[in-house]
A and B are shown apart, each in its own frame.
Chain A
């Protein structure tokens, strides 16, 4: 039977630490106000900062706002009146240091520096809406409108008259043709089209890529719009648009009619893109948190959902992390409140005294750990210090440290090496395989395979590591030294590592080790880096059996003899 080892059961001493119960909320839009108010209501002090001159700001582009506008204006008043909320307008975050529960924040208000302490940070920078007239190669004009312009016109009775009675017009919407689109953008076009159709004389037509309806109630709205007479053309690509003064000519091929269609609308309404707040990149740098490829906060990694950033104690909500309607945004607010209270509690928290130790004698202050820590858990206090609150115990720092000055409390190098050298029966003819398994994925999958009675290679030894990023080149080489015929490094899939980069570090190290093996003349096929997930027991079996077959074919590792000689002596 394959042997399964677990070294994490070291007893770590706990200590109670003080947590600052002030929360810094960045962004005074709707989400920022809501989260500030909710936090204040359960007893936290809140510092709400807004770069603009006042909070409230532009309402998010969302029909839900209009349905509960009153509630929201009440919210604005509540926030301003609440004694536990300090509102700082015209203020920007300049620097943040410290650790969760004890962040030091430097602010700048009208050129004046301010210092604050905070236990946690909530980022609520609202996304912005960007008109896309340019993308459609249209010049703005009185009949080439952005969606917001149209909405404003429909909201004011005089302006709305321009679409009524004898002034009724053919209005053409362009949606999801120069961007992929999303339900928020779609919903606004649907609502405006219905409103126009209801004026009596207007004909609304929507040219659309995909009708995005994946929000509650949108299919019903879509059906309503068709019943009211809104026309739809679904296109694969943007139509040919000619703008000649106030006249438009729109040409495209329609897949339903199977012919070319030409339209000459009176008014063109162009969709808007939802983009991250322009200050998002700066703020991400100051907070040392990651953004996704579109520039929204929060990496595209499911482990951070719903509101976590890659740093403990910093949360991202609402349209700061993705385009979402207010209902989803309010859900984020509640999740952030939940996360803050789990972290800060009543101002005290029980944490392990240390998750990782830095050996002061060995540390040469090269700052490698500080740079590689994906959780921003290492700070500077005349020496490198690892915050036990922020540390997630991945061990990337320990493996990257050129001086081997860092040891994880639960996964010390000597413990893992002891396991490596405990390799089963290296005398036997069955290939001996050491698999370094990330505890979040491969280790779980391997355990599941065993429990389900799958037949795993006889000579397989799983060694549990906190993250594949903890697998040193040393471990790999020592595994061969110990007499392993093959070594597997099993990590999470790309973008699924809880520590963001652990799998990447592991892959690099396997590449390094492979080069070294090649140099000493060992077949490089004996070492493999493979990604998998916790719910892949079948693949775990397939992968391990495949390498077993391969190793059987290749015969025993040449290094085995040395290992045998060593054991004999």
Chain B
């Protein structure tokens, strides 16, 4: 239904619920569903809404002042959840994300269901992302980082935003650029259909940004949506509160040279395996694309490692390794999976039954193999001590998965510096109140997700909800029923 021009001015906001917008038009209540995945429609509705918001007596804000503004740093599952909960409280949210896509690490994770759900929570990320892109009160800045931050009574910040090159208004997600691009990795696709825009250009791989030699995608695009010329932009703004949800990086196994990561193709990280399961739906040996018969997981790669000053447990690796092992067993019943571990950590509800079930399909060996040797036919040989007699065993595997841990984010130090926050001994953001892990030493700045310390999707979402509630409390945004 075209609601433009004159009609627009007589629109008064009545409310916004989930996937639909409700408008009062000439006294009639209308429900306009937001068509999923159609960014253009959403933005049009967004325009209507922002008009409406100006006149709206929103429940979260007193009528004579503009809605309070919150800056959420990081577009992973923590940032998405915090942003969405804040928007539902009628706050004005700016969500900034360093990469080209929302969703962070978690949107890359695969569904680990066997014959039943294993409760990894990856599907929750999909759903939350959809909710965020449909939410007009959240403004997303992709490829953006904070450049400057000042604090007076409010926070004033400057973002530097690299160009997206692809105009999301024009792009129809036809995928021609992605398909035809001659350079590997220059045009990249989001992990989920809910990534808007779905395609992005990676300057580090695109030949245009090396030597100006190629503009094929510009010419090919039927909608003329690509323009490789724009320079980075700067955006300034103000915020009343900040949520730090900058996430983590996985441990780079190159820092454990004895494994020889990068030498044998069949030695992969658990994140590689997540992406493989997600993109291909099965496990294939990188060297020959065959289903591996023997697979080993090595736990605690980078975590609980005092030599590397990583004196912390990553809290998620046992869970994801066991869940992926179960998923592999379900998809390839012939594959034999072994998990090498120090101590198995709990995950989720009802853990002991889950662990018992895993023991039926997975071999657990309490030993951390030191070196990994090259075997025949691209196999990898692990050496470990037998638990019963202590003899050293050499066993070949077709695929070895390193359960890499959660490490502090690469920009934690600079972000902490800018926001005057403290980092803990490991490099995660430190919380100030022992009972509230979202609290910081700075008023108005809150923590959510793995920026504060390792945690799984469920705990991250819970902490992000908590952070949103703390922000609302701090801003005095109360419902105050009579």
* Closest chain B residue to A331, Cβ basis: B466
A350 & B348 in contact (Cβ 8 Å cutoff): no
Residues on the B chain within 8 Å of A71, using CB:
435
Cβ–Cβ < 8 Å partners of A532 in chain B? 111, 113
B434 in complex: contacting residue of A67, A223, A307, A331, CB < 8 Å: A67
Residues A345 and B117 in contact, CB atoms below 8 Å apart: no
Is B123 in contact with A302, judged by CB distance below 8 angstroms?
Answer: yes
Chain A residues with CB under 8 Å of chain B are 8-9, 11-14, 21, 42-44, 64, 67-68, 71, 179-183, 210-220, 223, 234, 236, 255, 258, 292-294, 296, 298, 300-303, 305-307, 321-322, 326-328, 330-332, 334-335, 337-338, 341-342, 344-347, 350, 440-441, 444, 447-448, 451-453, 492-496, 531-539, 542
Pair B113/A496 contact, Cβ less than 8 Å? yes
Report yes or no: B117 in contact with A214, Cβ–Cβ below 8 A. no
Contact in complex: A334, B88 (CB < 8 Å):
no
- Is there contact, CB below 8 Å, between B346 and A214? yes
* Interface residue? B26 (CB, 8 A): no
Residues of B within 8 A of A (CB): 14-15, 17, 22, 29-31, 33, 36-37, 59, 85, 88-89, 109-111, 113, 115-117, 119-124, 126-127, 130, 173, 175, 179, 189, 192-193, 198, 278-281, 304, 306, 311-313, 315, 318, 342-353, 355, 366, 387-390, 425, 434-438, 453, 458-459, 461-463, 465-466, 468-470, 472-473, 478-482
Q: Which of A8, A44, A220, A302 has the most CB of B within 10 A?
A: A302
**Cβ-defined contact, B434 with A68, below 8 A:** yes
Residues A210 and B343 in contact, CB atoms below 8 Å apart: yes
Check A64 against B479 for contact (C-beta < 8 Å): no
Whole-angstrom distance from the CB of B472 to the nearest CB of chain A?
Answer: 8
Contacts A210-B344, A214-B346, A302-B124 given; indicate if A43 touches B479 (C-beta within 8 A). Answer: yes
A300 to B348 CA separation, bound complex (whole angstroms): 8
> How long is the Cα–Cα vector from A189 to B119 in the complex, in angstroms?
29
Contact A493 to B116, CB < 8 A, known contacts A334-B470, A534-B127: yes
Q: Which residue of A is nearest B389, CB measured? A: A258
Chain B CB within 10 Å, residue with most, of A181, A183, A303, A452:
A452
Q: Which of A334, A452, A496 contacts B193 (CB 8 A)?
A: A452
8 Å CB contact of B123 from A335, A344, A535:
A535
In the A-B complex, the 8 residue pairs with the smallest Cβ-Cβ separation, listed nearest first, are A180-B352, A496-B117, A538-B281, A494-B116, A306-B462, A258-B390, A448-B193, A214-B345
Q: Determine if B31 and A306 form an interchain contact, defined as CB atoms under 8 angstroms apart.
A: no
Measured in the bound complex, the distance between the Cα atoms of B33 and A444 in whole Å is: 17
Please name 20 further chain A to chain B contacts, defined as beta carbons within 8 Å, in addition to the given A327-B436, A535-B110, sorted by A numbering: A12-B31, A14-B14, A14-B29, A179-B352, A183-B346, A212-B346, A218-B313, A219-B304, A219-B312, A300-B119, A301-B119, A305-B121, A322-B349, A338-B465, A441-B123, A447-B36, A452-B189, A494-B117, A496-B116, A536-B111
Whether B116 and A447, one on each chain, are in contact in the complex, defined by CB atoms closer than 8 angstroms, is: no
Do A300 and B349 contact each other (CB < 8 Å), given the known contacts A212-B343, A330-B435, A335-B462? Answer: yes
Known: A64-B435, A220-B311. A341 touches B479 (CB 8 A): yes
Note all chain B residues with C-beta closer than 8 A to A44: 481
> For the complex, what is the distance from the CA of A537 to the CA of B123, rounded to whole Å?
12
What are 13 A-B contacts with C-beta separation under 8 Å? Answer: A183-B345, A213-B313, A219-B311, A219-B312, A220-B311, A220-B425, A223-B311, A255-B388, A305-B462, A330-B436, A344-B479, A534-B126, A535-B126
Tell me the complex Cα distance, A506–B358, Å. 28
Report which of B30, B113, B435, B463 forms a contact with A11, defined as CB distance below 8 A: B30
Q: How many angstroms from the CA of A535 to the CA of B274 in the assembled complex?
A: 12
State in angstroms the CA–CA spacing of A239 and B466 once bound together: 43
Q: Which of B280, B390, B462 contacts A538 (CB 8 A)?
A: B280
Q: Which residues in B have their C-beta under 8 angstroms from that of A236?
A: 366, 387
CB contact under 8 A between A535 and B59, given known A180-B355, A218-B313: no
Given A338-B465, A493-B116, are A444 and B59 neighbors across the interface (CB < 8 Å)? Answer: no
Residue of A nearest to B452 (CB): A216
* Contact between B278 and A535, CB atoms less than 8 A apart: yes
A452 to B278, CA, bound (A): 13
A182 to B354, CA, bound (A): 14
In the complex, are the beta carbons of A495 and B111 less than 8 A apart? no
Q: How far is the CA of A328 from the CA of B463 in the complex (A)?
A: 8
Among B33, B173, B390, which residue has its beta carbon within 8 angstroms of that of A451? B173
Bound CA–CA A397/B283 (angstroms): 40
Docked-complex contact A451 and B193, CB < 8 angstroms: yes
- Specify which chain B residues have a CB less than 8 angstroms from the CB of A495 in the assembled complex: 116-117, 119
Select from chain B the residue with minimum beta-carbon distance to A531. B113
Measured in the bound complex, the distance between the Cα atoms of B173 and A447 in whole Å is 13
**B346 / chain A contacts, CB cutoff of 8 Å:** 180-183, 212, 214
Q: Which of B111, B349, B355, B435 contacts A535 (CB 8 A)?
A: B111
Q: A302 and B453: CB pair below 8 A?
A: no
Once A210-B345, A306-B458 are accepted as A-B contacts, the answer to whether A234 and B366 lie under 8 Å apart by CB is yes
Contact B111 A533 (CB under 8 A): yes
CB-CB under 8 A from B478, the residues of chain A are 42-43
Chain B residues within 8 Å of A534, by CB: 123, 126-127
Most chain B beta-carbon neighbours within 10 Å: one of A42, A223, A331, A341? A331
CB distance A327 to B462 under 8 Å?
A: no
Cβ contacts under 8 Å, B59 to chain A: 345-346
Chain B residues with CB below 8 A from A328, complex form: 459, 462
Docked CA distance A332–B443 (Å): 22
| A255 x B345 contact (CB < 8 A) | no
Given the interface pairs A335-B466, A345-B59, the reply to whether A43 lies near B480 with Cβ below 8 Å is yes
With A and B bound together, what is the CA distance between A535 and B130 in angstroms?
Answer: 12
Residue of B nearest to A220 (CB): B311
A453–B366 contact, CB under 8 A? no
Which residue of chain B is the closest to A180 with respect to CB atoms? B352
Q: Which of A180, A341, A531 is the one whose CB lies under 8 Å from B351?
A: A180
A292-B463 in contact given A535-B122, A535-B126 (Cβ < 8 Å): no
- Nearest Cβ distance between residue A63 and chain B, in whole angstroms? 10
Across-interface contacts of A536 in B (CB, < 8 A): 111, 281
Nearest neighbor of A218 in chain B, beta-carbon distance? B313
Which of A43, A220, A342 interacts with B88 by CB under 8 Å?
Answer: A342
